[in-house]
Structure 1
Amino acid sequence: MYRRIVLKLSGQAIAGPNDFGFSSDRLTHLATEVIALRATGVQVAVVVGGGNVFRGNRAEEWGIDRVEADNIGMLGTVMNAVLLRGRLAALGAHGVRLMTALPIDTLAEPYIRLRALRHLEKGAIVLLACGNGQPFTTTDYPSVQRAVELGADALLVAKNGTDGVYDADPNKHPDAKRFDHLTYKEVIDRGLGVMDQSAFILARDHALPLHVFDIDHPGTATTILKGTPAGTLIN
């Protein structure tokens, strides 16, 4: 049983079936899953993405500088985190803390590692937004970075409609094989796109277990915490 975990939620998870925007039903589902995770007794931090609002790699399309595009993306993570905080509160969750890597004092606390640890130890759900406050990274790297900084026992990598890591894109190849377990070396040698390479190497260097699973299936995350195999474990 893990004592502390970090859950990585993409912006796409909040958008639901759409490429961009927000889905109220999906937000309720995600909030319910987060509440269920804490109910197991584990300490829960959540890194929230912002791809449903804006992606930094669209800078050229919009005719803006990449750094500005990434700044917009970071603000998108704040919007998603505030939405999630609001839905968690509406569902009766207490002790929800939102911390941002960029200071937004009227909405959230600044991310301070020791303060985040204190919140977790007191049983709060800690939502982490703005990535790590730097451009040129997706939320893959900050999710691993925060997990390592906070001494998490594992990173739960929530996917949408994909129940693990496959040897090929299952949407394009119906006969693609799903892996129940992989080592870091196997992922690198096979060139499997689990997450950004820099993030994956950081996880490997700190021996951080990664659970890749489908957040669309209710209860899968809590199943993982109870020790029942689900999705793909990388360690």
Structure 2
Amino acid sequence: MDQRLVIKLSGAAIAGDGEFGFSSERLTHLATEVLAARATGVQVAVVVGGGNVFRGNRAEDWGIDRVEADNIGMLGTVINAVLLRGRIAALGGVDVRLMTAIPINNLAEPYIRLRAIRHLEKGAIVLLGCGNGQPFTTTDYPAVQRAVELGADGLLVAKNGADGIYDADPNAVAGARRFDRLSYQEVIDRELRVMDQSAFILARDHRLPLHVFDIDAPGAATAICRGERVGTLVS
């Protein structure tokens, strides 16, 4: 069984059926899944996305600079992380720490790698917001970056309604085949979209296992934490 895992949650997972906004039901589901993962004895950190609040790639639609748009997106991750922190604390009565790449001292601790590791070693759930504090990246890259920095044994890439990696879009192609396991090179050769290319290359270079699974499936994250084969493993 792995000892330390990072879970990548998208903003869309918090939005529920809508593209933007928040769903209380979805928030409770995510908090429950994170708590269940921790209950297996694994140290858990969570990188939270912000696409349900604002997406940086919509800068042109709003007539603003891309850097400003990405700044808004990073703030969106903080909103989601504060919501998740509150719900986890209400449900689990466990220590939950929010750390952000951009200092927001009244709401969160600044992200310091060794401090984050210390929180994990003490049994706290660590939520990570603001990506890596830099524009022009989605939260895919910071998710891999944080997993590597924290010495995680793997990254759980939570998808919404997709239970792994397929050879074609299962919603559009009848008979699309799901892969149980892939190598990094197979993902590249088949041009399969797991996450942003820069994030995937970073994972490959550091041999970080990627567990791609459906966050909507109750208990999926917990099963992975217990060493069971769920979704698609890239290693």
Give TM-score, length-normalised by structure 1: 0.99
Asked whether 1:154 is paired with 2:154, we answer: yes
Alignment partner of 1:229: what SS? coil
Q: Is the 8 A contact 2:99 2:108 kept in 1?
A: yes
Asked whether 1:83 is paired with 2:83, we answer: yes
Offset at 1:90? 1.0
Name the % identity. Answer: 80
Aligned to 2:198: 198
Aligned to 2:179: 179
What residue identity is the alignment partner of 1:113? R
Aligned to 2:118: 118
Offset at 1:195? 0.2
Offset at 1:154? 0.3
Alignment partner of 1:75: what SS? helix
Aligned to 1:2: 2
Asked whether 1:58 is paired with 2:58, we answer: yes
Q: Deviations over 1:118-170 (max 9, x none)?
A: 00000000000000000000000000000000000000000000000011111
Q: Is the 8 A contact 1:35 1:93 kept in 2?
A: no
What are the ranges of 5 or more consecutive residues in structure 2 without an aligned counterpart? none
Alignment partner of 2:45: what SS? strand
**In 2: Cα distance, 1:224 partner to 1:105 partner:** 34
Q: Is the 8 A contact 2:35 2:92 kept in 1?
A: no
Q: Is the 8 A contact 2:2 2:227 kept in 1?
A: no
Moved beyond 3 Å, runs of 4+: none
Q: Is the 8 A contact 2:37 2:222 kept in 1?
A: yes
- RMSD over equivalenced CA pairs, Å: 0.6
Q: Deviations over 1:52-96 (max 9, x none)?
A: 000000000000000000000000000000000000111033110
Offset at 1:225? 1.7
Which stretch has the larger CA shift, 16-25 or 84-93?
84-93
**In 1: Cα distance, 2:227 partner to 2:46 partner:** 20
Offset at 1:174? 2.2
What are the ranges of 5 or more consecutive residues in structure 1 without an aligned counterpart? none
Alignment partner of 1:187: what SS? helix
Alignment partner of 1:91: what SS? helix
**In 2: Cα distance, 1:123 partner to 1:30 partner:** 19
**In 2: Cα distance, 1:121 partner to 1:49 partner:** 24
Asked whether 1:46 is paired with 2:46, we answer: yes
**In 1: Cα distance, 2:92 partner to 2:172 partner:** 41
Asked whether 1:169 is paired with 2:169, we answer: yes
1:210-221 mapped onto 2 (5 Å cutoff):
210-221=210-221
1:127-142 mapped onto 2 (5 Å cutoff):
127-142=127-142
Aligned to 1:15: 15
Number of aligned residues: 235
**In 2: Cα distance, 1:81 partner to 1:112 partner:** 17
Aligned to 2:67: 67
